[in-house]
Amino acid sequence: MHIQYVRKDCWRDPDNRKKFADKHGKELKFPETWEDDLRIQQTLMDPSKDLYGSGNLRNRANGPTWWVHDLLQRRRLHLRRRP
């Protein structure tokens, strides 16, 4: 399981859509691969507007989060309520 958030204002902006299409030769759409995700981050990143890449959890600090999600999905970790 992976949760991906997108900023609709950035995605719907005609200038961003044109910028992406001009740079990559295809329409801006939800990423299907990590490479697509990286291309979108690089294209829409704009420090002058305080926009930086991506806000996903794929970093070392959040690695344990994904590990727990993985175990929950595989039903190898069971969360119990305390009595």
Each residue of 4-28: pLDDT tens digit? 777 888 889 999 999 999 999 999 9
**CA distances for 57 relative to 4, 30, 45, 60, 66, angstroms:** 9, 17, 17, 9, 8
Q: Is the pTM of this model over 0.85?
A: no
Residue 13: its pLDDT value, please? 92
User: How do residues 27-50 score in pLDDT, each as one tens digit?
Assistant: 999 888 888 988 998 898 888 888
Does residue 45 contact residue 23 with C-beta atoms inside 8 Å?
no
Does residue 40 contact residue 28 with C-beta atoms inside 8 Å?
yes
User: How do residues 68-81 score in pLDDT, each as one tens digit?
Assistant: 666 666 665 555 66
